[in-house]
Every structure is written in C-alpha cells, then in structure tokens.
Structure 1
Amino acid sequence: MFSFESIGLPPDEKFSTLNEEKVKQFRDSITYKDGLYHVQLQWYEDKLKSVPSNYNAAIQVLEKVNKDLEKKNLYNQYLQVFQQQEDEGIIEEIIEQFKDYIWIPHRPVLKLRDQTTTKVRPVFNCSYKHKGSVLLNEAAYPGVNLMSNMLKLMIRFRTNRYVLLAGIRKAFLMIRLALEKDHNRFCFFLKKGEKLHCYRYNPLIFGFNASTFILNYVLKFHAEKFPLDECSEALKSSFYVDNLVKTTNNAENLSDLYTSVREHLQKVNFNLQSCNSNCVTLQKKMEADGTLSGFYSGWKKVLGY
C-alpha cells in the first residue's frame, strides 16, 4: 500500500489528492532493467498538448552558443562532453523530425578547475518560453519536496566528531526514461562543422523541474529494497539532492556505513565520487576505492557552504 510515510514524509504533512495520485502513478511506473532504474514521467496532459516543438528557437540559441564557444576556443571541448555521453548511451542521434519532437535549448556553464583549466558542462533550458507558449516545465508534474532538511543536516554536521561527505556521479543521468514519448520531449541540436545533428536524452536531465523529486524518490525507493538499518536510513534521510552528509562519534561505524552505502548504490549504477572525511582511516579507504575528492585546500564546502 502506497503512503507518503513510507518514503520518509511526516504523517501530519498535508498533500492534495492530485499529489497522492501522481506520486502513486510514478511509484507504480518504476522498473529495474539492465542495472538501472527506469521511470515514467508524470504530466499535466492538458498543458502538455500546448508545448511547442521550439526547434527554431533551439537552433537560434545553438548558433549563438557556438559563436561564443569558438571565440573562447572551447567549442571542441563542449562537443567532447556530448561525445562522451553518446559513448555511454546517455544520448542518441535521431532522425530529423523537427515538428514531432520537443527541442530544448542548451548552453555551456564554465567552471575554472585547478586554477588553470576550464571545465565545460551543458545546461538545458526546459523553461524556455516563446510568445506566450506553455513551458515544458509548466506541463510537467514537479512532485513533492522530498529533500532532507538542509538546516538539520548542517546542525548534525556541527554536532558529531566525524563526518562523511559524498556525491553521486552523474546522478540524474543514471535514471532512464521508460517511454519513447518521454525521450522525444528532451531533444536537442548539435552542430559538427557545418552539419546539424539531432539528439535526444535517454535519462533525466538537470534543468527539468521534476528531476530532483524523481532522484530523491528513487533513492528512497531503492532504500526500501534492503533491511531497515543505518545504511537504508542514510539513503532515505541523509541526502540533499545527490549529496550525502552523515556524521557520528564512532569512526569505525562511519567507515562501515560508507562501505555499505557505496555497495547498495553501486547495484543501480549510482557511483560515489568526491568523497571526503575528517577520519584519516576512512580517507585512506576512499583513496583506495578511487572515490576520494581530488581537490584539497584545507577547507571543504558542505552543501555549498
């Protein structure tokens, strides 16, 4: 029997009938296949019919983005990100059927890495709006807020002696879309030389308003597959989006928890990365596993702070 309590929400929280129906439909759609979770997106069907294909806008944005990248000598690096995603099966090339699909404009976000090199990653604008049209994000059911309370996580962080920090590598991209029609709502263009190429995403993308809800729900759903213990509780209540924050006064227990969480998540291709701890023994274990954060300055941000 579905209940909001089963996914860690307080029993006195009030939710509408619509939320109950949509969340139950989403839960019933979750399947496990080829080592990954697959989901069906929930939509407001009346609004979805009014979302335009946006192919002209997507092409115009692409032209501006490419010119800017070429000026900064980052064009090839941007293409390499998508090439890696294609090699990993995250995106796939499709036939040009502009009016049949929904096209998402994208642009690069640049981040200085190691003070010398620039890391480029694409961000997709699912809230693109043109001439009073309905946004893709407006047509999507965004879900309910399942994120752990940031204040509680930060207070816990300052309370106990030892801390475990970790992130999930490409968390959103590890959740696949089950339906063909959902795939066709996350299409985009790339230009290689003078030729225009058409692609679509197989998993969730960052920028889609339901992605955070879906990731948090899938983590809680996955936790239910295991006996109720400290590990399953951490999966349910110690993640903020894709970041794990766990503290304790027992270094040995924290090390065991890290191992258990890592093994549980690996079963569905959620791989831990950027891990860190103020426990030296645990740091050495992370280093041996290849999960230890590669950047160290003496200070480590926690949930962006």
Structure 2
Amino acid sequence: MTDEPNLLGAYVRARRELVTPEQVGIPVLGVRRVPGLRREEVAMLAGISADYYLRLEQGRDRNPSAQVLESIARVLRLDEEATAYLLGLGSAAPRRRRRRARKETVPPGVVQLVTALPLPALVEGRRFDVLAVNSLATALSPRFTVGANRLRDTFLDPAEQALHPDWENAGAGMVAGFRRSVGTDTDDPGVIDLVGELSLASPHFSRLWARHDVAGCTGAAKDLDHPRVGRLRLHRERLDISGTTGQTLVVYHPEPGSDSAEKLALLAAALPTP
C-alpha cells in the first residue's frame, strides 16, 4: 500500500455524500444510515462493479481509466470544471513531498503594471498569497497588502468579513477556487500549513473544505461595504499571468458614471501623492 494521500478516493467519497438518491432517480425506502448515495449505488449507476468502486475509494486502485472516471462524474453530477479535476486526480503521478514551500516571484513588468494602473489591482499567487498590490487596492481593503493571504483573511479577519455583505458565499467560492488552483499539489508545505491552520481556526472553512468543491475563480460583480464610502459594486476581473505557475492579476473596476465610480474616485483622491 502506497503512503501517498488518497486524493481520488477522498474526492469521490465527499462528492458521493452530497448527491441525494432522489437526484439520480433512486426511490428512498425507510431510513438511510449514510448521507448521499451508497457506494454500491454509485457503482451500479456508473456501470462498474461495487468491489472495484470500493477499491477506488479506499485507494487500492489508483489508475482508473478516463471512461470510468467520466461515468462516476456523471453519477456524481459533476460539472465540467469538477470533472476535469477528477480526471486530473486519476492521472496524477506520485510525487515526493517537498521540504520547502515554493517561492513565488512576480515578473518585474507585472509589478510595474500593477503600480501604474488607475484601478485597484493586485497579483495573487497559486496559494492566494498577495504578491503585488497598488495603493488604491489597499485603500479598498487594508488586507490587500503584500504578504497577506486572501483565504486566511476571508475566514479569520472580522474586518474582511464585514467588507463582504455575503461573506459566507464569498468564502465558499474562494475555497472551491483554492482547491482548483492547488490541484493535486497538496504536498506543498505552504498548502498543508494553510489548510491545517484554517481547519483548526474556522469551522466554516473546515466544512467547506470537506465538501471538495472545485470551481474556477472567474470575473464577477462584487458588492463591498466600505467603512468610509459605503456600498460599492465593482467588477472583478482575473487574468492569468503568462510565464508563471498559477499567478493571477486581479483588477476591480466600476461601471462608468456610476455611484460606485464616484466613491472609488473619492478613495483615489484621498491617497497620498506619490
């Protein structure tokens, strides 16, 4: 038996427990002792043997075919993003655990761009560390500062939670995006330390992490309750930075001529002159 973590088994088990029998057309008779679907029900619906599915969950078989994984994904009602993640788990090669967290360095030209932009902008690393930021972004949230971690602040900093009117849903999306960002690279000590810290300190994070949700962090409109200018609605754009491993340029911008544009201009006007 390998000492590698059983990522595939943990993922399908967590997702199996979130699918109800009614969702897949199985009648419920009497009291069910397990949440979601039973293993044998998943196996039956996926067209594989119950013993083989059990081996997958237990990590005794770690090389399923793409066809088997796609069948399981269909039963577990995974979307395209989650199915791709599942296929990645099935094809991931074993790796030796790293002794140090990988240092992330932002290309100098990107740092210059972030500084020059007249909009709130920052660079996030693959572990959601803030790697570069401009002063208008810091005016939007003091937690937007180099060295901070967006995931940690979202779940542990009350001031950051107060900035987001619907912070619990915002946190759920961030956890799903974090899992997609780190992928199968869970032997990264930085990931291990961060997940361990948040799991102990935040029951909400712990529940979300146990769901194994996977989703890309995409552009979206965000409502923010700023302590100085009040409610803002800004569009958040996320752009992958070429030549890096998982770094993202994040830019916030308002609708032109909107009340939020005026409030953002007030924050900009209050910044110290460079």
Query: Same fold by TM (over 0.5)?
Result: no
**Larger relative contact order (Cα-Cα within 8 Å, sequence gap ≥ 6):** 1
TM-score, L = length of structure 2? 0.24
Structure with the largest fraction of strand: 1
Structure with the largest fraction of helix: 2
TM-score, L = length of structure 1? 0.22
